[in-house]
């Protein structure tokens, strides 16, 4: 499987979706994350406004790099 793939969020078995506690009460700009490593070996990300739509599937190392860059303000150009 490539590092990133796309699947319909409704087709992800056992996905328990959650939002960051930083999302607050405004639901208009949230993403949700689900750990589907036990089944697919990936971390899934979807738009909370479209819960039945597409979900991006990231390899764990790629998702970790994304979160690290987001926390540090890096732009990922060193990869």
Greatest mean pLDDT range, 18-22, 28-32, 53-57: 53-57
Residue 33 has φ and ψ, to the nearest 5°, of -125, 145
Q: How many domains does the chain have?
A: 1
Q: Are 31 and 19 in contact (CB under 8 A)?
A: yes
Question: What's the domain range around 9?
Answer: 1-19+30-52
Tell me the H-state helices in 1-79. Answer: 37-40, 60-72
pLDDT band at 26 (very low <50, low <70, confident <90, very high): low
Mean pLDDT, residues 20-46: 82
Mean pLDDT, residues 19-34: 75
Q: 75 Cβ partners below 8 Å, 6+ apart?
A: 69
Structure tokens at 69: 């860059």
Task: Identify whether 61 is part of a domain.
Answer: no
């Amino acid at each position: 499987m490539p590092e990133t793939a796309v699947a319909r969020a409704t087709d992800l078995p056992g996905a328990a979706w959650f939002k960051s506690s930083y999302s607050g009460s405004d639901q208009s700009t949230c993403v949700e994350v689900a750990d589907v490593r036990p089944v697919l070996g990936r971390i899934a990300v979807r738009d909370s406004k479209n819960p039945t739509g597409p979900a991006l599937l990231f390899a764990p190392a790629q998702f970790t790099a994304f979160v690290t860059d987001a926390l540090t303000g890096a732009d990922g150009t060193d990869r």
